[in-house]
Copies of this chain bind each other. A is one copy, B any other.
Amino acid sequence: MRATILHAPGDIRVEEWADPALERPTDAIVRVVAGCVCGSDLWPYRGANEVPEPRTIGHEAIGVVEAIGPDVARVRVGDFVIVPFDHCCGRCVHCLAGQTQGCVELAMTGSGQAELTRVTNADATCFVLDEAPAPEQQATVLALSDVLPTGYHAAVSAGVVPGSTAVVVGDGAVGLCGVLSAKRLGAERIIALSRNPERQRIATDFGATDLVAERGDDAVEAVRELTDGVGADAVLECVGTEQSMLTAFGAARPGATVGFVGVPHGVQIPWPTAFRGNIGLRGGMAPVVRYLPELVPAVLAGDLDASAVFDLELPLDDAAEAYRAMDERRAVKVLLRP
């Protein structure tokens, strides 16, 4: 197959690679119709993570089931499926408690930026659509494999409820999906932190009622002013840096929760603020399989559309350019078509 291969930081190429095989009887192989680049793919691309040997990359995909193992009973060859980035068994104690990201057999999509990708525990993991989405609907459906449920997880974890005031730290694709999700959960006021006019526009389209262009302490001060000195009821932390975490805690009112979904890299909690304010922290990897039964119908009905985060679409062969565009912040998120 043609696949995006990360050779070393900054060195990413589309080339021929071995097709993924059915390794376990519960596996399926999916022919990718659309994949995309995630902000977290930029970590190894930028050298923050080790790249010991060349490997496939990409964990977001939708496509058509090409092959199934002998123990796959629900998913059939030819089905159009959403592939959640975090695969789960659906039977263990953690899956049954809704903690599908804590599954004892947790695995990840490993070649979403390629022609084919392997899905473990396919019956529990794949979300089968009744029919293939039209090409113009594929972006909104693709968002369900990670970025939209991840933004939704930030909002759920932060405890957004109808009438609440939410702050969203981070104007990347996940942060923008956080805005959209806070809106869906009924937030009355959504304060988005962004200084980029294009992202501000998307945030506003997604439901942001206020935009704060300041950063750090000035952003905290701006949120305090917008909330009459009280702070936000819920804060979505969608970056994962020390600075974004400090801003998130600073913007929270006493008793509020910071919902985090960015993978924290060397982040220290501002303990005095958390301690006196009783500001909680909750989140992490999104349990995508848990959320899809709730989110897919809304997306298919057109009530929830995150496709605007894909502001660039390229053929798979141009994956290297997709990474460059996102690394240089020329694009929010790039959709790739094999």
Contact = CB atoms under 8 A, between A and B. Distances in A.
Interface of A: 93-94, 97-99, 101-102, 106, 157, 230, 253-255, 257, 263-264, 267-269, 271, 274-285, 287
Contacts of A271: 263-264, 267
Contacts of A283: 275, 278, 280
Contacts of A254: 94, 97, 99, 101-102
Contacts of A285: 275-276, 278
A157 B275 CA distance: 12
B275 A94 contact: no
Interface of A is mostly: mixed
Contacts of A94: 230, 253-255
22 contacts: A93-B230, A94-B230, A97-B255, A99-B253, A99-B277, A101-B254, A101-B276, A102-B254, A157-B280, A257-B280, A263-B271, A264-B271, A268-B268, A269-B269, A274-B284, A275-B285, A276-B284, A278-B282, A278-B283, A278-B284, A279-B284, A282-B282
A106 B272 CA distance: 14
A94 B227 CA distance: 13
A271 B269 CA distance: 11
So how many copies of this chain end up in the complex? 2
A280 B279 contact: no
Contacts of A275: 263-264, 283-285
Nearest to A283: B278
A248 to B, nearest CB: 13
A165 B138 CA distance: 44
Nearest to A227: B93
Contacts of A276: 101-102, 106, 284-285
Contact of A284 (B263, B277, B287): B277
Contact of A102 (B157, B263, B268, B278): B278
Contacts of A269: 264, 267, 269, 281
A129 B169 CA distance: 47
Contact of A255 (B99, B253, B268): B99
A152 to B, nearest CB: 14
A153 to B, nearest CB: 8
A157 B278 CA distance: 9
B281 A282 contact: yes
A99 to B, nearest CB: 4
A279 to B, nearest CB: 7
* Interchain residue pairs A-B with the least CB separation, the first 7: A102-B254, A280-B282, A99-B254, A275-B284, A99-B255, A278-B284, A281-B281
Contacts of A284: 274-279
A275 B261 CA distance: 8
A264 B268 CA distance: 12
